[in-house]
Amino acid sequence: MSKITTLNEFILDRQAEFPFATGELSRLLSDVAVASKIVSNDVRRAGLVDHILGAQGETNIQGEEQQKLDVVADEQFIKMFRFGGEVCGIASEENDDFMAFEDEQSKKGNYVVLFDPLDGSSNIDVNVSIGTIFSIYRRVSPAGSSATIADMLQEGVKQVAAGYVLYGSSTMLVYTTGHGVNGFTLDPAIGEYCLSHPNMKMPETSRLYSMNEGNIDISHPGIQEYIKYCQGEEKATGRPYSGRYIGSLVADFHRSLIKGGIYIYPAVPSSPKGKLRLLYECNPLAFIAEQAGGLATTGYERIMEIKPTELHQRVPYIVGSKKMVQQVLNCIQQADSRN
Ligand code: AHM
Ligand code: MG
């Protein structure tokens, strides 16, 4: 048995690695952890609240209306960032516009946070894993002023930290500050995240692929070809591969990070630019993937190099084990050269 390292100990030990080692980012990461523990507790009680204590939309005993869990999570994270003092503004998948915090302390904050408070929310009602995804940038507007849209629309390569919290069979927080990826499991007995997955590396390849195959016939021919390859039979390459699709990006990504694999959400006629959000979902997970040795692309462009033009911008998304992503890129290129 070895000594337990808590997330807070780990953050403080690594503080010197940050580009501006003043402790602000450390405090911000600790705030994310605290908010996620509160949300984790709400997630664990979701079935009770909906089915025993009262359905969503009903008023509770205090006369307050029960809120949907994704709204509860959104508010919890916003509250933490608003009062934390390190963040001058946020943007969230739940809100149409970004929010600039106008109190004097927040206006001095050097960071903005972009996040998806509860990803995979269609899985809440069926007790399947969901998660929070976050991305942290240094502001580009001057400290002391209000946060601006330019603070929010930065390329993924400018992220100073990114991570996710998976509310799965256990609650895990995984993050990077650009010096590798580390994973922490919440020990409910002591209420602490403990280092459980140090220096995570994504296997270069695997036998697992992840895509909503209902979309296969309406996907790019290169993607169709790649999925056909995964399903083909060949002993030497261990094919057919196994299809795994949870429908919660965080959970599908987490599996790929640990076991290797590829996740694909292409452009389809109903979502011609792809379904997933560049700023709240794709960039943060791309940062983690690359830090763990994987890749993230639209099929044509490295995700983290896209210059965002709008907050809720969507992109086609291919993320995962390096060799598998490279093979999809080849399939796309070949299919395009035939047309
Ligand atoms: P959400 O942020 O509204 O939950 O949407 C994103 C989710 C991803 O977690 C998941 O991978 C994808 O949408 C599933 O979409 P589909 O049901 O079209 O396969
Ligand atoms: Mg989402």
The pTM for the full model equals: 0.95
Q: Which of 119-128, 134-143, 195-204, 292-301 has the lowest mean pLDDT?
A: 119-128
Q: Which of 46-60, 79-93, 271-285, 314-328 has the lowest mean pLDDT?
A: 46-60
* 20 CB-contact burial (10 Å; exposed 0-12 / middle 13-18 / buried 19+): exposed
Query: Looking at the chain, which residues constitute the CATH 3.30.540.10 domain(s)?
Result: 7-197
Report the amino acid identity of residue 172: M
Q: Which pLDDT band, with edges at 50, 70 and 90, does 58 fall under? A: low
What's the full length of the chain, in residues?
Answer: 339
Q: Which residue's CA is the closest to the ligand 1 atom numbered 12?
A: 247
Q: Which ligand is nearest to the CA of 122?
A: 1
Q: Which pLDDT band, with edges at 50, 70 and 90, does 2 fall under? A: confident
Please write the tens of the pLDDT for every residue from 146-203.
999 999 999 999 999 999 999 999 999 999 999 999 999 999 999 999 999 999 999 9
Cα–Cα distance measured from residue 324 to residue 297, given in angstroms and rounded to the nearest whole number: 12
Q: Which residue's CA is the closest to the ligand 1 atom numbered 19?
A: 212
Pick left, alpha or beta for residue 238 (phi over 0 → left; psi -120 to 50 → alpha; otherwise beta).
left
pLDDT at residue 151, rounded to an integer: 98
Res 49 pLDDT > 80: no
Cis amide leading into 316 (omega within 30): no
Q: Is the CB of 120 under 6 A from ligand 1?
A: yes
pLDDT at residue 52, rounded to an integer: 55
Q: Is the CB of 116 under 6 A from ligand 1?
A: yes
Q: Is the CB of 117 under 6 A from ligand 1?
A: no
- Mean pLDDT confidence for 314-332: 98
Of 122, 263, 312, the residue with max ligand 1 atoms within 8 A of its CB, to mutate for a pocket test, comes to 122
Question: For the structural domain made of 208-337, what CATH number should be given?
Answer: 3.40.190.80
Of 133, 248, 250, 270, the residue with max ligand 1 atoms within 8 A of its CB, to mutate for a pocket test, comes to 248
pLDDT at residue 124, rounded to an integer: 87
Res 60 pLDDT > 80: no
Res 7 pLDDT > 70: yes
Residues of the chain above pLDDT 70, percent: 93
pLDDT at residue 67, rounded to an integer: 67
Q: How much distance in Å is there from the Cα of 276 to the middle of ligand 2? A: 7
* 118 CB-contact burial (10 Å; exposed 0-12 / middle 13-18 / buried 19+): buried
CA angle 294, 298, 302 (to 5 degrees): 55
Q: Is the CB of 248 under 6 A from ligand 1?
A: yes
pLDDT at residue 50, rounded to an integer: 63
Q: Which ligand is nearest to the CA of 265?
A: 1
Query: Looking at the chain, which residues constitute the CATH 3.40.190.80 domain(s)?
Result: 208-337
Q: Which pLDDT band, with edges at 50, 70 and 90, does 56 fall under? A: low
Res 55 pLDDT > 80: no
Q: Which pLDDT band, with edges at 50, 70 and 90, does 16 fall under? A: confident
Q: How much distance in Å is there from the Cα of 120 to the middle of ligand 2? A: 6
Q: How much distance in Å is there from the Cα of 68 to the middle of ligand 2? A: 15
Q: Which residue's CA is the closest to the ligand 1 atom numbered 15?
A: 247
Average pLDDT, the chain: 93
Assigned superfamily of 7-197? Fructose-1,6-Bisphosphatase, subunit A, domain 1 (3.30.540.10)
pLDDT at residue 335, rounded to an integer: 98
